[in-house]
Structure 1
Amino acid sequence: MEHETVAIVVGGGPAPGINGVISSVTIEAINHGKRVIGIVGGFSSLFEGQENNIMPLTIDLVSRIHTTGGSILRTSRDTPENAQEKFKVLLATLKELGIKYLVTIGGEGTLFMAHWIEKEARGSINVVHTPKTIDNDIPLPGGNSTFGYQTARHVGVGLVNNIMEDARTMGRWYFISTMGRHTGHLALGIGKASGATLTIIPEEFPERKVSIKKVTDTITGSIIKRLAQGRDHGVVIIAEGIAEKFDPDELNQCENVERDEISGKIRLSDIQLGRILRALIREDLRSMGIKSNIVSMNIGYELRAADPIPFDIEYTRNLGYGAIRYLLKGGTGAMIAVYEGHIISVPFVEMVDAKGLIRIRKVDINSEVYLAAREYMIRLEEEDFEDSLLNTYAKIANLTPQAFKKRFEYLIMTPSL
């Protein structure tokens, strides 16, 4: 009797724990008499109809990979220009390979693909998704994190802790940009856990477009406030997604901005956000007569393929096990999640908005969790514009109190949308 085939495909950028899902899916499926193959190179292989680009998976091959970073199946995040036409090739390739069950591993883009495949397969392929992204922007039940996030935050905190000590030792500021296209979960998680001086995320600016000046003024205000406290150093964590809110024309005045040839989106990873902000703020501080020593850097690629911490190792074992158990019970069209100690399935239809796009979980800036993070940041607040503090800050900036207030007080006001 021919064994039914389970296929695993990884989409999007790397995240710690991918191999853990591959391992647990393979072991559980084989233990239930299924054949397991991995699609090498992600969806790009399927879009190109590459039927030979597969890897037979065995228990011996995957039994110890769950503690390692990266992906033995590799991954890709390329979407072909003619996606509608190429999708027919993808679906035909899956059917030609005799795939009965498909496990997808990825973020919101991969979840969209899984939903699309499941709809178009019309029952011929059962599809289940496992949520992977260090951005932590998939809305999971109970606010639980996506796999990979906890490891990325853990590694990021270690890096930032070292940078904070260097900042103190050398008397300098570091501007560190982190990954997070749509949201600030990773930046906030790293900043809050490391005790960074200031963390800036897209969600704190509810307006559709944000001027670069508002961001630079926020950081400049933090530097002045630190100087008033007798500290000439600090670390600012900046979520890269803030650049998507900048006016491209304004951004182009600082640095040439490239857009992806296929998606048309700004290539956030190519924008040297820290460098742009450093140049503007150094000039701003210089105009006030304030000497500054600022270093810009990015962290992100260092986090994506790190070996998973025990949290993500256990988490991905649960997800892989749950994925196969769900499929073998006849399930399809759902994402696997862990909620209150139980492995559950969340239907794809609950993950999409009215336009058919995958919903994104943003940082709730009205939550106590975010307010707790804000409480430990050093940034200008309402009380800083009272006479005693205002005079101190104005003196450091070589401005009159009235001029300082005019320059910075708008930062604490909620914009009208």
Structure 2
Amino acid sequence: MSKKRLAILVGGGPAPGINGVISAATIQAVDRGLEVIGIYDGFKWLAKGDTTKIVNLNINHVSRIHFRGGSLLRTSRANPTKDIKMLNNVVKALNELNIDYLITIGGDDTAYSAKMIENASNGNIKVAHIPKTIDNDLPLPREIPTFGFHTAVHVGCNIVQNIMEDSFTANRWFFVVTMGRKTGHLAFAIGKASGATLTLIPEEFKGMDVTLKRICDILEGAIIKRLSQNKQFGVAILSEGLAELCIDELKELSVERDPFGHIRLAEVDFGRLVKGKVKASLKSRGIDITIVRKDIGYEVRCAPPDPFDIEYTKDLGFSAVKFLLDQEGSKAMITIQDGKSVPIYFDDIMDPETGKTRLRSVDTDTESYEVARYYMIRLNKEDFEPENVKKLALVAKMTEKEFIDRFSY
């Protein structure tokens, strides 16, 4: 009797810890008598019906890869759900490879693709999805991160701490833009942990009409407040998702979209755009400030995982195989809650309006967010009281009325 086969593939952007999942899942599956097939480049080749871009995984192959960043199987953003022919090609290719079980490692788009593949196979291919993204935006219970996020925050925080020292030493401002397509988890955590001057995330503006001018005014206001304290330096952390809030203003920019239809925010160069507008506004009133823009994202995606993510991904990979074999489960995202494996089924994480995977946003109604805001240096309500606004307006080289009209949102 031939062995049953488990396939593993990785979709979406890289995140620290991918190799830990591949390693743990492979070892557990081989020990359980399965043959394990690694599929290169996500759905890219399968969507074309190509079954040759694979590798047979064994314990010797994966036993020490959990320390490494990146992905042994590489990854891609190929989207098999945008065309029924591509989706059918994936199912046909998996059937040709005699795949009984599929573990997908990825974010919200890969989770949706996994759901559609299980449906298209009529349940013949059992699917378990492992939540991976440095954006931390998959709909897990509030206290549970996606794997890779913890390492990304740690590496990003170290970068920002060095930038803060440079800011002080060279007497300049930095606008640091972090990855985070729809949510601000990464920017928020890096900003709070590093003690950045201020952090702006999309969730702050929930339910509001946001303009590029408003974002720039908040940054300019922070610079003015620091100048009133005789400090010409600071670091602002900006989530790249802010660009999507005012995307209508950026339509003149020719920006590519990925296979899932998402704007490639890294190509917007949001930091350069905001820097230019803030610097020009200050200069128009005779205020000369050095502003440097810096992007953080690619540096943290393939970093070696920290001990937390190494341990976490080992649990996830092991639990995915256990879910497929012992529980005879399928169509679920694997989570670890209170040290135990808990599947969250695809149907429970879909947004009824979009039909896609729901996203988890930063909750701004928490003490965690309140603490972060408390320690930010930016214009607040009390800054517009008569005894305070006079000094700020003087530094800004504006009348008090001009200052209030401009900055009191």
TM-score by length of 1: 0.95
Paired positions, count: 407
2:336 aligned partner: 338
- Alpha-carbon distance in 1 for matches of 2:26, 2:32: 10
Distance 1:288 1:367 in 2: 38
- How far apart are residue 247 of structure 1 and its match? 3.8
Whether the 8 Å contact between 1:142 and 1:339 is mirrored in structure 2 is no
Deviations 1:117-170 (A, max 9, x none): 122222211110100000000011243100000000000000000000000000
Distance 1:82 1:186, change over 3 A: closer
Quote the Cα distance in structure 1 between the aligned partners of 2:150 and 2:193: 11
Contact 1:209 1:247 in 2 (8 A): no
TM-superposition CA deviations, 1:312-371 (whole Å, max 9, x none) = 000000000100111112111111101112121111111112132100001111122111
Unpaired runs of 5+ in structure 1? 411-417
Greater mean deviation of Cα atoms: 222-231 or 145-154? 222-231
Task: Kindly indicate whether the alpha-carbon contact (under 8 Å) linking 1:140 and 1:337 is maintained by their aligned counterparts in 2.
Answer: yes
Secondary structure at the residue paired with 1:141? Answer: coil
- Give 3-state SS (helix, strand or coil) of 1:143's partner: coil
Task: Rate the CA distance shift 1:81–1:25 in 2: closer, same or farther, 3 A.
Answer: closer
Residue equivalent to 1:245:
245
Structure 1 counterpart of 2:2: 2
CA distance in 2: counterparts of 1:252 and 1:397, whole angstroms: 31
* Structure 2 residue 144 is matched with structure 1 residue 162: no
Contact 2:43 2:80 in 1 (8 A): no
Match of 2:359 in 1: 360
Q: Distance in 1 between matches of 2:331 and 2:349?
A: 11
Instruction: Give the fraction of aligned pairs with identical amino acids, expressed as a percent.
Output: 49
The CA distance in 1 between the partners of 2:134 and 2:396, in whole Å, is 39
Tell me, yes or no, if structure 1 residue 289 matches structure 2 residue 253. no
SS of residue matched to 1:13: coil
CA contact (8 A) 1:141 1:337 kept: no
Name the amino acid aligned to 1:364. D
**What letter corresponds to residue 405 of structure 1 in structure 2?**
I
**Superposition RMSD in Å:** 1.4
| Contact 1:12–1:107 (CA under 8 A) maintained in structure 2 | yes
CA distance in 2, matches of 1:285, 1:262: 40
State which drifts further: 277-286 or 261-270. Answer: 261-270
Task: State how far apart, in whole Å, the 2-side matches of 1:373 and 1:66 are.
Answer: 33
Change (3 A) 1:287 1:304: same
The 5 Å alignment of 1:61-72 reads 61-72=61-72
Q: Is the 8 A contact 2:81 2:113 kept in 1?
A: no
Aligned: 1:369 with 2:368: yes
How far off is 1:372 after superposition?
1.2
Deviation at 1:252, TM superposition (A): 4.7
* Secondary structure of the structure 1 residue equivalent to 2:44: helix
The Cα shift of 1:29 comes to 0.4
Deviations 1:284-323 (A, max 9, x none): 1112221101101111000000000000000000000100
Q: Within the alignment, does 1:110 sit opposite 2:110 as a pair? A: yes
| Residue deviations 1:11-61 (CA, integer Å, cap 9, x gap) | 000000000000000000000111001011111111011111111001001
1:77 Cα deviation from its structure 2 partner:
0.4
Mapping for residues 9-408 of structure 1, pairs under 5 Å = 9-79=9-79, 83-207=83-207, 209-248=209-248, 250-252=249-251, 256-260=253-257, 262-329=259-326, 330-355=328-353, 356-408=355-407
Q: Where does structure 2 lack aligned partners over 5 or more consecutive residues?
A: none
Deviation readout 1:216-270 (Å, 9 max, x if unpaired)? 000000001111122110001110011111143x2256xx231327555422010
* TM-aligned CA deviation for residue 209 of structure 1: 4.4
Contact 2:202 2:241 in 1 (8 A): yes
1:122 and 1:251 map into 2 onto residues whose CA distance is 43
TM-score (norm 2): 0.97
CA distance in 2, matches of 1:396, 1:290: 9
